[in-house]
């Protein structure tokens, strides 16, 4: 792999070209890591695609030191050309020091998205997935938009999805002003109309998603090279109070 420059963020990463010359973001294991963070992120991105979320492609390779490196395909390139990209923070005009809500992103998509209905459905799907996999790294800079021409935008593939088995469960980007930053499946389903989705359709989406996660999360973790002990360590990220509420809600359909 050849380096093509460094990137910001709390964890070590760089923009590199893979063996085929394609531009990727490489995420490296930190010296003080006690958990397989890169492998877990690759597993989460794979799981996201399994459940129907439009997520970035990623894989694990071993670096020169033998440590795992997560390679995430760059999605802001097409045929070698740069595709204009905006963070959700810029898209909705939020100040860096202030938070916002998924409903704020939804309002901006209604006004500026190519096929707003499809984009709103995709955004809602990501809200459910974020809660179900205990991702609390969903701040506004970890949501993005790609320019689709004629001043219209589409959600970029989802990225930076990091299951957190042991941290306090909350959302960096709240669902709406009503529920604040609670990582609540019930609040998400109640907010479905803000995404132009009827409650029954939201529950049906949730049903398919929680079943697929229950069935596939361990497989995705194994495919990313996680050991049985590491998979057990991450189980609370995928099986928790909110996932149990989700199963209960879907059984009541």
Determine what percent of the chain falls in helix, strand and coil, rounding each to the nearest 5.
40, 20, 35
Q: For residue 20, what pLDDT is reported?
A: 77
Q: For residue 98, what pLDDT is reported?
A: 75
Summarised one tens digit per residue, pLDDT across range 29-45 is: 888 888 999 999 999 99
DSSP letters for 65-124: TS-EEEEEE-SSEETTEEPPEEEHHHHHT--TTS--BHHHHHHHHHHHBSSHHHHHHHHH
Q: For residue 4, what pLDDT is reported?
A: 39
Q: For residue 207, what pLDDT is reported?
A: 97
DSSP letters for 153-213: EEEPPB----B-SSSPP--SSBSBTTTBT---HHHHHHTGGGGT--HHHHHHHHHHHHHHH
Q: How far apart are CA 35 and CA 81, in angstroms?
A: 36
Could you give the angle at which helices 102-112 and 116-132 cross, rounded to 10 degrees? 160
Cβ within 8 Å of residue 42, ≥6 positions away: 58, 59, 60, 70, 224
Helix, strand or coil, per DSSP, at residue 140: helix
Mean pLDDT, residues 80-94: 92
Q: For residue 10, what pLDDT is reported?
A: 63
The third-level CATH classification (topology) of the domain covering 81-251 is: 1.10.1070
Summarised one tens digit per residue, pLDDT across range 164-214 is: 998 778 999 999 999 999 999 999 999 999 999 999 999 999 999 999 999
Mean pLDDT, residues 97-103: 86
Between 82 and 108, the more confident residue is: 108
Residue of 66, 48, 57 whose CA lies nearest to 25: 57
Confidence band (pLDDT; 50, 70, 90) for 138? Answer: very high
The third-level CATH classification (topology) of the domain covering 2-77 is: Phosphorylase Kinase; domain 1 (3.30.200)
Q: For residue 166, what pLDDT is reported?
A: 87
The CA–CA distances, whole Å, from 83 to 15, 75, 88, 180, 206 equal 16, 8, 16, 33, 32
Q: For residue 11, what pLDDT is reported?
A: 74
Residue 3 has pLDDT above 80, yes or no: no
Cβ within 8 Å of residue 234, ≥6 positions away: 40, 163, 165, 221, 226
Q: For residue 2, what pLDDT is reported?
A: 42
Confidence band (pLDDT; 50, 70, 90) for 77? Answer: confident
Cβ within 8 Å of residue 97, ≥6 positions away: none
Q: What is the CA radius of gyration of the chain?
A: 18
Q: For residue 23, what pLDDT is reported?
A: 85
Q: For residue 78, what pLDDT is reported?
A: 78
Confidence band (pLDDT; 50, 70, 90) for 99? Answer: confident
Domain ranges (residues) in the chain: 2-77, 81-251
Q: How far apart are CA 140 and CA 100, in angstroms?
A: 8
Confidence band (pLDDT; 50, 70, 90) for 47? Answer: very high
Confidence band (pLDDT; 50, 70, 90) for 22? Answer: confident
Confidence band (pLDDT; 50, 70, 90) for 97? Answer: low
Residue 7 has pLDDT above 60, yes or no: no
Edge-to-edge strands of the sheet including 58-62? 2-6, 13-17, 23-28, 68-73, 58-62
């Amino acid at each position: 792999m050849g380096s093509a420059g460094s990137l910001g963020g709390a964890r070590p990463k760089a923009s590199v070209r893979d063996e085929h010359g394609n531009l990727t973001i490489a995420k490296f294991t930190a010296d003080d890591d006690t958990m397989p963070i890169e492998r877990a992120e690759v597993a989460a991105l794979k799981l996201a695609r399994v459940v129907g979320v439009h997520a970035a492609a990623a894989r694990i390779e071993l670096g020169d030191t033998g440590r795992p490196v997560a390679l995430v395909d760059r999605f802001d390139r097409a045929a070698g050309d740069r595709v204009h990209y905006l963070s959700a923070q810029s898209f909705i005009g939020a100040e860096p020091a202030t938070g916002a809500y998924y409903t704020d992103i939804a309002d901006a998509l209604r006004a500026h998205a190519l096929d707003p209905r499809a984009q709103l459905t995709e955004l809602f799907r990501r809200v459910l997935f974020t809660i179900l996999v205990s991702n609390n790294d969903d701040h506004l800079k970890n949501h993005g938009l790609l320019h689709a021409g004629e001043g219209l935008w589409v959600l970029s593939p989802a990225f930076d999805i990091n299951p957190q088995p042991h941290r306090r469960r909350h959302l960096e980007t709240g669902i709406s002003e009503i529920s604040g930053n609670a990582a609540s499946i019930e609040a998400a389903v109640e907010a479905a109309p803000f995404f132009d989705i009827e409650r029954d359709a939201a529950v049906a989406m949730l049903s398919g998603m929680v079943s697929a996660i229950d069935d596939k999360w361990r497989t995705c973790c194994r495919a990313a090279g996680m050991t049985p002990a590491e998979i057990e360590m991450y189980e609370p990220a995928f099986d928790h109070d909110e996932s149990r509420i989700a199963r209960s809600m879907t059984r009541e359909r």
